[in-house]
Structure 1
Amino acid sequence: MSMRRVVAAAAGFVALVGLATACGHGGGAGASDTAFDAATCQGGTLTVLAQNGQGKFDPAELYTSGGGKVPTLVFRTLTTRDHTTGGPESARVVPDLATDTGEPSQDATVWTYHLRPGLKYEDGTPITTQDIKYGIERSFSPQLPGGPPYLRDWLVGGEQYQGPYNGGGDLASIETPDSATIVFRLTKPEGDFPYLATATQFAPVPRDKDTGTDYQKHPISSGPYEVVSNDSGKNIVLQRNPYWSRSIDDQRLACPDRIVYTSGLDPAVINQRLVASSGDDARAVSGDTNIDATVLARLNGDPSLRRRVAVGDFGATQYLAFNPRVQPFDNPLVRQAISYAVDRQAVINAVGGSALAKPATTFLPDQPAFGYTPYDYFPAGPSGDPAEAKQVLAQAGYPNGLTITLTHSTTPGDTGPAVATAVQQALQKAGITVRLDPLDDDDYQTKTQLPSSEPGFFIGGWGADWPSGGPFLAPIFDGRQILEAGGNFNSAQLDDPQVNAEIDAANRLTDPAQAARAWGALDAQLGKQAWTVPLYHPIYQMLVGKDVENAYVSEWNGMYDLSRISVK
């Protein structure tokens, strides 16, 4: 698990270093001998096999944005990510219900949107901006928790607002001068607002159809599919929305007639079923599970199987976190020595090998949308440089080495025992004795996210809520986001006025290219201080059944885009 977003577990996979992967990053799977034709792709049933359920299927309670997952098939939002292609372009934000990605005021504190004409719900009634306003307002209700927190922070009056239930009234900072126009007034400049507008909280909800906490049983569709049945988000069946068409949605193809989402499956079972591709599994895809060692070992010798694997990235970084309020991590040279000593290849082997992870020396993921700016201030090669680490450690005042404690989760995976042991063994070569402090996952997250109990040294991870440097760097390094009561991700507890000011300056930028450059420059500046030791970025390799076509992994979230897939 990343700290906020789910990252596909790689635990238990053997190291398969150097194994040839199926496709390039963003590559498609399910290719056939004939060219895919969107005009003739309609029909059939697509099955999605998943380990995890969707949770409460209410747009207010879902924590998702812009990807091609199940919610995007039912809920359209003001904006979405680019569904029309894989690769880096799939990280772009594009219009969805709106005619464009938003009209900002000069200082990006006011954003205006206009709806496309002809939009309708599954029952044929028109979609209005009043419905979008109401959908956002109900997401503030304590009865409907789980959505992202940004609207509460960004909208004027959002911090105190408790939703429309129980006489709560409306939120004045969302204005609807007519049924096709909606205006948002923010507390501060936010150039990333178009990315936030991809979140399901921006899906329209008709007030007269709102059933409160029961709405998730049958939410009213604004997308290409409507809900037939929903077993608490564990198993969901969708069928076509008769009032949706490609003429009012240029992002989703909606090829299958039905989509069946099945969860609660063991990852190994998912891969076994997709490899076999028997019966309905021939027209199935993995919903949230990477291929495992068994599949990886077969790829080079089985071209037909290799064609059924797509490779992609999700913007995430696993890293070692320091709390400089705990000695000796208040000493920058100690942090630098550890940076030199880390054996990234051993860590990557611990999570499945080079087919499933790539070394990281920057905090930002290595994708242009985030503002990736290459740097390596403590070059140690793939296996670490213990000799250099010892020299820096001596300069720090520890010529005979030192003993430290590394806190980690007992749950196998990115923050688990295998990674902790790899770090322990690498640092031992540099004269640093590492005592391991294992905690069950709940205690681990509570302890590492509470400033008063935060350990000095632990394994962390972060995945962005959208592909931009803002939701990646601000929660980790903005001093104003230190949460003393818990849920804190600023492990360095850094509150540097200059860094805070640079975050504000980048947030004002509404041009994605300019913003990316600003975030990249800030990342490069922060990297010099060794507040963290980046370890790796995950790679996604996901499998489809033999009768699936036009399947590719989104660069937005690392999952298959269900809105473009077809089945034979």
Structure 2
Amino acid sequence: MKRGPVLKAIAGAVAAVSVLTACGANDPSPSGGSVKPGGTLYLLSDAPSQQYDPAKSSNLVVTSLSFVHRRLTSWKVAPGQDTTIVPDLATDTGRPSDDGKTWTFTLKDNLKYSDGTPIKAEDVKWGLERSFAAPFSGGLSYHKDLLSPGLAYKGPFDGGKELDTIQTPDEKTIVFKLSRPYGDWNWIASTPAFAPVPKGKGAEPNYGDRPITSGPYQVEKYERGKEARLVRNPHWDRRTDDTRAANPDAIVTQLGQDTSVISKRLIDDSGNDQAAFGISFASPAQLAQIQANPSAKSRLVTSESGALAYLSLNTQRGKLTDPQVRKAFQYAVNKAAYQVASAGNAQLAGDIATTLITPGIAGREQFDLYPTKPEGDPEKAKQLLAEAGLPNGLDGLVLATKNENSFPEKAAAIQAALARAGIKVTIKALDEDTYTSEVDTKGLSDFDLTLTSWQPDIPSANANIQPLFQSTEIGNGGYNESRYNNPEADRLITEAQATIDPAAAAKKWVELDKKILGDSAVVPLIYTRNSFLHGSKFGNVVIGRFPAYADHRQFGLVQ
């Protein structure tokens, strides 16, 4: 899931700015008092829309989709702890068999939709089948090739075809027959497409405007660019749901808000804005205002870590096909300057990164294959280039990045650092659609470098490594922007994915982390921190080690 330039993947869920304040990582009720059930919460978003169709959504478990839709599994998130998998609609987190090619789940008793009808196993199957239909694309798709190799299945609406790899022998049992062993299937079952949709429903493209819901809330009103209003689902049973506090009586998301207006409203902290949470705010100038206001500063909640910001090196283009040349970039980059360009200083931006697997992922190993100063070592970079036959450095490289979220400024910091080592780069800042088309769809064919960031979709190293470095992810909308094509790495990825034991799998992912960095496909920069501003009556803003986003499921009003 892309972040920074990758925020499109959770549009309307979370967009944050890196800041570290005295408030700390979690501050449930800075104004004193405790969170109690009742009242109306307000979420302020600069996004024009909120996606409530699970097939089209890329929302993380902890963000807004979980208000209205449950999934087979969920996450337990807590400060200072690794995130773990827990049941949601299912009685457990899945039972693997056939060496991990078959997974079986059983639904809990007394599960009902917002219209009062029972939730059945066939509805989970139907919801997944919908996700294969072209009109309902755009959501997370980890499940698709595992259930339909080559994506031969095209959905249930053309001739009413069923997906035979999903079996529902009775109303409570659902069995997945995967194309290959896959140890993370229970994590994949927490992604949006595993939310049930009543069989036969949801054929209309705007189903997400008024879906039939399984979570504690239902959509009362949705108006693109203006407002989404959620009210309680009277048929949701708290006894079947251990992950959602469902504190407020209503949740109103105000859409299409200007980021400067959001920031000012929350700083001023008056009226309904006392019960509001800023899903997005942007500029360093606004952050300076927050830091200068003691009340606002006390209401800024910050993550321990976050997405990996990194520089991709096109391993299939020009001199960058030589690993020795690519290794020079590990020393040429000034990560300290990148921190300053990101948020003013190192503490605000996030810690310097040296691994691909991000903090908060169980089994992660901290290492540094290219130890150097935060400012880099341009002389070492020049030495490596000379040893690779480039005593005069490199010229004519093109660096692509987004023209938003201060990425042009961060790209300029990269450009200046590389120049010290004799590497001359031209920056090409692109709007989001052009970036997606030119970089991800075409596979970086016209660029030497890209600057971007990545937050995994699930708390597994699988989601750190596979989407960015498997050869199948080059072009066609994939995120392998380094065009890294290594048959041995592909084999190790498949082997790690097939490993059922989490500890054994973690060791294999660490091996891949070291292998890919040994090939210098990318330069890790920082693990970006995320911060969120909220009103004085808004409580339970909690951020765990993963993900670096507030857990919406726990929100409530301080009474």
TM-score by length of 1: 0.90
Amino acid at match of 1:210: G
Question: How big is each residue's C-alpha offset from its partner over 1:136-161, in whole Å with a ceiling of 9 and x where there is no partner?
Answer: 11121112121222222011467211
Whole-Å Cα distance in 1 between the matches of residues 546 and 9 of structure 2?
Answer: 12
Structure 1 71/6 Cα, relative in aligned 2: closer, same or farther at 3 Å?
Answer: closer
Taking only the aligned residue pairs, the percentage that are identical comes to 36
Whole-Å Cα distance in 1 between the matches of residues 140 and 267 of structure 2?
Answer: 36
The answer to whether structure 1 residue 490 and structure 2 residue 480 are counterparts is yes
Whole-Å Cα distance in 2 between the matches of residues 180 and 9 of structure 1?
Answer: 37
| Bigger shift: residues 377-386 or 73-82 | 377-386
1:378 Cα deviation from its structure 2 partner: 2.1
1:300 Cα deviation from its structure 2 partner: 7.5
Question: How big is each residue's C-alpha offset from its partner over 1:117-176, in whole Å with a ceiling of 9 and x where there is no partner?
Answer: 111111222111111111111121112121222222011467211111132321111111
Whole-Å Cα distance in 2 between the matches of residues 220 and 402 of structure 1?
Answer: 57
Q: In structure 2, what is the equivalent of residue 184 of structure 1?
A: 176
Amino acid at match of 1:561: D
1:42 Cα deviation from its structure 2 partner: 1.0
Residue from 74, 82, 104 that aligns with 1:80 = 74
Contact 1:412 1:418 in 2 (8 A): no
Amino acid at match of 1:73: F
Amino acid at match of 2:265: R
Amino acid at match of 1:419: K
Whole-Å Cα distance in 1 between the matches of residues 382 and 235 of structure 2?
Answer: 67
Q: In structure 2, what is the equivalent of residue 160 of structure 1?
A: 152
Residue from 286, 306, 310 that aligns with 2:301 = 310
| Bigger shift: residues 149-158 or 255-264 | 149-158
- Unpaired runs of 5+ residues, structure 2, are none
The answer to whether structure 1 residue 47 and structure 2 residue 42 are counterparts is yes
The answer to whether structure 1 residue 356 and structure 2 residue 349 are counterparts is yes
Residue from 475, 490, 507 that aligns with 1:517 = 507
Equivalent positions of 1:88-237 (< 5 A) are 88-89=81-82, 91-156=83-148, 159-207=151-199, 209-232=201-224, 235-237=227-229
Amino acid at match of 2:212: I
1:258 Cα deviation from its structure 2 partner: 0.6
Whole-Å Cα distance in 2 between the matches of residues 209 and 488 of structure 1?
Answer: 30
Contact 2:20 2:302 in 1 (8 A): no
Structure 1 190/56 Cα, relative in aligned 2: closer, same or farther at 3 Å?
Answer: same
Contact 1:104 1:111 in 2 (8 A): yes
Secondary structure of the corresponding residue to residue 207 of structure 1: coil
1:554 Cα deviation from its structure 2 partner: 4.7
Q: In structure 1, what is the equivalent of residue 418 of structure 2?
A: 427
1:33 Cα deviation from its structure 2 partner: 3.2
Whole-Å Cα distance in 2 between the matches of residues 389 and 61 of structure 1?
Answer: 44
| Bigger shift: residues 455-464 or 337-346 | 455-464
Contact 1:465 1:471 in 2 (8 A): yes
Whole-Å Cα distance in 2 between the matches of residues 270 and 284 of structure 1?
Answer: 10
Contact 1:10 1:351 in 2 (8 A): no
Q: In structure 2, what is the equivalent of residue 444 of structure 1?
A: 435
Structure 1 151/9 Cα, relative in aligned 2: closer, same or farther at 3 Å?
Answer: closer
Whole-Å Cα distance in 2 between the matches of residues 348 and 229 of structure 1?
Answer: 42
Residue from 40, 64, 71 that aligns with 2:59 = 64
| Bigger shift: residues 156-165 or 189-198 | 156-165
| Bigger shift: residues 238-247 or 547-556 | 547-556
1:220 Cα deviation from its structure 2 partner: 0.8
Structure 1 307/517 Cα, relative in aligned 2: closer, same or farther at 3 Å?
Answer: farther
Secondary structure of the corresponding residue to residue 88 of structure 1: coil
Whole-Å Cα distance in 2 between the matches of residues 364 and 289 of structure 1?
Answer: 27
Q: In structure 2, what is the equivalent of residue 457 of structure 1?
A: 449
Whole-Å Cα distance in 1 between the matches of residues 258 and 9 of structure 2?
Answer: 20
Whole-Å Cα distance in 2 between the matches of residues 20 and 439 of structure 1?
Answer: 29
Q: In structure 2, what is the equivalent of residue 502 of structure 1?
A: 492
| Bigger shift: residues 419-428 or 173-182 | 419-428
Amino acid at match of 1:437: K
- Aligned CA RMSD, in angstroms, stands at 2.5
TM-score by length of 2: 0.91
Whole-Å Cα distance in 1 between the matches of residues 239 and 435 of structure 2?
Answer: 49
| Bigger shift: residues 42-51 or 549-558 | 549-558
Whole-Å Cα distance in 2 between the matches of residues 111 and 233 of structure 1?
Answer: 41
Amino acid at match of 1:342: V
Q: In structure 1, what is the equivalent of residue 321 of structure 2?
A: 330
1:235 Cα deviation from its structure 2 partner: 1.8
Whole-Å Cα distance in 1 between the matches of residues 166 and 437 of structure 2?
Answer: 35
Q: In structure 2, what is the equivalent of residue 258 of structure 1?
A: 250
Whole-Å Cα distance in 2 between the matches of residues 451 and 528 of structure 1?
Answer: 22
1:457 Cα deviation from its structure 2 partner: 2.2
Structure 1 130/456 Cα, relative in aligned 2: closer, same or farther at 3 Å?
Answer: same
Residue from 350, 369, 374 that aligns with 1:377 = 369
Secondary structure of the corresponding residue to residue 403 of structure 1: strand
- Unpaired runs of 5+ residues, structure 1, are 14-18
Q: In structure 2, what is the equivalent of residue 16 of structure 1?
A: none
Contact 2:305 2:548 in 1 (8 A): yes
Contact 1:344 1:383 in 2 (8 A): yes
Contact 1:81 1:556 in 2 (8 A): no
Q: How many residues are aligned here?
A: 549
1:557 Cα deviation from its structure 2 partner: 3.8
Whole-Å Cα distance in 1 between the matches of residues 324 and 514 of structure 2?
Answer: 18
Amino acid at match of 1:374: Q
Contact 2:140 2:192 in 1 (8 A): no
Contact 1:326 1:456 in 2 (8 A): yes
Structure 1 116/510 Cα, relative in aligned 2: closer, same or farther at 3 Å?
Answer: same
Whole-Å Cα distance in 1 between the matches of residues 44 and 324 of structure 2?
Answer: 48
Structure 1 107/233 Cα, relative in aligned 2: closer, same or farther at 3 Å?
Answer: farther
Amino acid at match of 1:31: P
